[in-house]
Amino acid sequence: MKTIRLSGLVLAAGLAASLMGSTAFAEPVTATPGQEVNAVLLPKFLGILPFDQANRGAQEAAAELGSTGKLEFIGPTPENSAAGQIEMLTTATTQKQQVVMLSNNAGDQIAPAAEAAQAAGTKVVTWDSPIPNGKGETVFIAQVDFGSIGVVMADMALELAGGAGEFAVLSASPDAANQNAWIEAMKTTLAADAKYKDLKLVDVVYGNDQSEESYNKALGLVDKYPDLKVIMAPTTVGIVAASKAMQDEGLCEKVKVSGLGLPAEMVSYSLNGCAPQFALWSFVDLGYLTYHASYALATGAIKGEVGEEFTAGRMGTFKIEEDPGRAGAKRVLMGPFTVYTKDNVEAAAN
């Protein structure tokens, strides 16, 4: 698998952001294993592979740490994601769970429930998708720097469009904080560099991370914009649905698909040219790191303060830093991500 790392400029900017406002702490903390931590892993909804992979990683970490508590993997249905997440977070608080690991799909609507959880002694650690305003959130486990995703999406769109032309975005839900941040980062990137001047973003539509709806939205974009060259789908459900739609309609030579996808689900579309390149990170690692951070917080090994460092098993040492995209919020940055093409997707899919 070929890992594509960011340019020195982007890395330097990320490093500077991570150091700003940091407080000096002693050596990285390693949480004492074998303690009782009752935790809930709460994805946006159940039934898709990325969240199952995150659960696999969290379960791996829980076993490695020897927690004598229970790790529950629960989530709402896609149709009831926002309200369901709020209800489940509230229930977990009532049950006196020590920590809830949340991939937020309810925007700022979930902040009051998160604040209530914290007040009752339940830590709220977000992963994959944070609470936009940061309220009620102890720390966000960020898969990669959100600004860097904007750069990668813009670059992939530029390359697939041949340097000029129209492209559109097929996103998840309007309330998905991660999707919205990535799209805004991409817009900022497009406006900041003259190399993108001939690339035109014509629309952003939402398939709500449901296959049939995303499929139809992709076809709708092609009908609405006859000169469309690229559909950028920063969602694992959307990118598969859009690729299948282009394949079924025989449009893969005319409209390329890109975005964020799982190699196991995208290998055939990469090899047949419908989705020549896309990017992602390891959801197994994301779940693993999230549990390690949550265990350390729940057991008091760390407090969740900027500058604290902790060890996360096989993944090494991580540091809590200010979130450059959300004033007053904190994050732990995992990284890096990989750009997949026909040259490396098959190996990653196995």
The CA distance from 251 to 314, in Å, is: 43
State the pTM of this model: 0.88
Residue 203 lies in a domain: yes
Residue 3 lies in a domain: no
Do residue 57 and residue 121 come from a single domain?
yes
What does the block give as tokens for 29?
């903390």
Section 18-34 average pLDDT: 70
For the cut 80, the answer to whether the pLDDT of residue 21 exceeds it is no
Do residue 75 and residue 18 come from a single domain?
yes
Section 49-73 average pLDDT: 98
pLDDT at 25: 59
pLDDT at 8: 36
Specify which residues 321 forms β-bridges with. Answer: 331
Do residue 154 and residue 131 come from a single domain?
no
For the cut 50, the answer to whether the pLDDT of residue 17 exceeds it is no
Lowest-confidence pick of 12-26, 252-266, 287-301, 313-327: 12-26
pLDDT at 5: 39
Do residue 136 and residue 151 come from a single domain?
no
Among 253, 279, 305, the domain boundary falls at: 279
pLDDT at 24: 53
Section 206-233 average pLDDT: 97
pLDDT 10s digits, 221-274: 999 999 999 999 999 999 999 999 999 999 999 999 999 999 999 999 999 999
For the cut 50, the answer to whether the pLDDT of residue 9 exceeds it is no
CA trace torsion 244, 249, 253, 258 (10° rounding):
-30
Residue 275 lies in a domain: yes
The CA distance from 66 to 329, in Å, is: 30
pLDDT at 4: 40
Do residue 77 and residue 167 come from a single domain?
no
* Look-up of token digits 């486990």: 141
For the cut 50, the answer to whether the pLDDT of residue 13 exceeds it is no
Do residue 271 and residue 297 come from a single domain?
no
Do residue 105 and residue 186 come from a single domain?
no
Section 119-130 average pLDDT: 98
Task: With CA atoms as reference, report the closest residue to 290 among 134, 140, 129.
Answer: 140
Do residue 302 and residue 209 come from a single domain?
no
For the cut 50, the answer to whether the pLDDT of residue 1 exceeds it is no
For the cut 70, the answer to whether the pLDDT of residue 15 exceeds it is no
Element (H, E) at 298: helix 283-298
Where residue 263 sits, what CATH number does that domain have? 3.40.50.2300
Do residue 207 and residue 289 come from a single domain?
no
Residue 181 lies in a domain: yes
Where in the sequence is the domain holding 209, given as residue range(s)? 146-279
Do residue 62 and residue 137 come from a single domain?
yes
Residue 37 lies in a domain: yes
Residue 57 lies in a domain: yes
Local confidence band at 336 (pLDDT 50, 70, 90 cut-offs): confident
The CA distance from 88 to 85, in Å, is: 5
Section 142-163 average pLDDT: 96
Do residue 55 and residue 30 come from a single domain?
yes
pLDDT 10s digits, 154-200: 999 999 999 999 999 999 999 999 999 999 999 999 999 999 999 99
Do residue 24 and residue 104 come from a single domain?
yes
Residue 345 lies in a domain: no
Among 254, 279, 304, the domain boundary falls at: 279
Section 47-65 average pLDDT: 97
The CA distance from 60 to 289, in Å, is: 10
Among 279, 297, 331, the domain boundary falls at: 279
To the nearest whole number, what is the mean pLDDT of the chain? 93
Helical ranges in 20-78 per DSSP H: 49-65
Lowest-confidence pick of 97-101, 201-205, 270-274, 346-350: 346-350
Residue 350 lies in a domain: no
Section 75-89 average pLDDT: 96
Task: With CA atoms as reference, report the closest residue to 286 among 141, 124, 172.
Answer: 141
- Domain count across the chain: 2
